[in-house]
A and B are shown apart, each in its own frame.
Chain A
Amino acid sequence: MLHPELEILLEIQDLQTLRRDITTEEYAAAGIPIDPAEHAERLDERIAERETQLSPRTRTAYQRVSRRHERVVAPVLHGVCYGCFVHVPTSKGHDKERNTELRTCESCGRFIYYTD
């Protein structure tokens, strides 16, 4: 099971990344038929909608992190936060079902998502 708010945060991040990608020259050069401006607007609407589904506490933390970092959720791989590349304490890194709780990196403050 994935924490419901973590799922929302992951989707927001994926949408933000998609928004960045579709406005790049490389994306346009690949010949994918898309209108970047129109679709960026639709993505913004979806991102805003998902943000409202976060609890006030999580939304505040999310806004605080997003002011400092482009990406608010960082993967943790082999015990390392890939936002700041600092080791996540063992007690957090080896729990079972680690993504069932909403956790943040103690070093950079990003929400963390265990991928291994």
Chain B
Amino acid sequence: MELRQFFTEDAIKLDLEGTTKDEVLKELIGLLKLDEKSEGMLYKMLKRRENLGSTGIGRGIAIPHCRSLVVNKLRVAFGRKLQGVDFKAIDEKPVDFFFLIVAPPLEVSNQYLPVLGKIAQFSKEPDVPQRLRDLTEPQQFLALLEEKGV
């Protein structure tokens, strides 16, 4: 299983418009192209997860994630905000890079936690924040995932 197989170009946004945590979450959810009701339910679950403790893991990276019946397979999205957003990250620094993961409660292939782990592993690579900062096209993000082989 490799991260590249889960990402598509239309779920990658390199110029997020939101300036707050809530706005960014909504914008990331929008990349999944769900119906309005599902978007609302997903937002509530992500907020509930964030209220337990921020998914900002430091180094400018956050991995908002949850399970929800509003999706019937694992969905991911990537967003970037170069000016950074206050996401209450563990290192208290602004977050520039957002990996959204949403999975159904029951997955036959059990990919959710491994994908979460792989994104965390990818994020810890020393050059990744700068490489993400340098992206100009969504395809380059996909190429980076392939290059890293995660």
Contact = CB atoms under 8 A, between A and B. Distances in A.
- Chains A and B belong together in one complex: yes
Interface of A: 1-2, 7, 10-11, 13-15, 17-18, 21-22, 24, 26-27, 29-35, 39, 42-43, 46, 71, 73, 75, 77, 82, 113, 115-116
20 contacts: A7-B41, A10-B41, A14-B68, A14-B105, A21-B67, A22-B52, A24-B113, A26-B114, A26-B117, A27-B113, A27-B116, A30-B120, A31-B120, A34-B53, A46-B48, A71-B106, A75-B106, A113-B69, A115-B69, A116-B72
Given A18-B45, A31-B120, A35-B53, 9 more contacts: A2-B37, A10-B68, A15-B48, A17-B105, A32-B53, A32-B120, A71-B105, A77-B72, A116-B72
B40 to A, nearest CB: 9
B67 to A, nearest CB: 5
Given A10-B69, A26-B114, A113-B69, A75 B104 contact: yes
B69 A42 contact: no
Contacts of A116: 72
Interface in B100-115: 104-106, 112-114
Nearest to A1: B37
A85 B5 CA distance: 27
Contacts of A7: 41
Contacts of B41: 7, 10-11
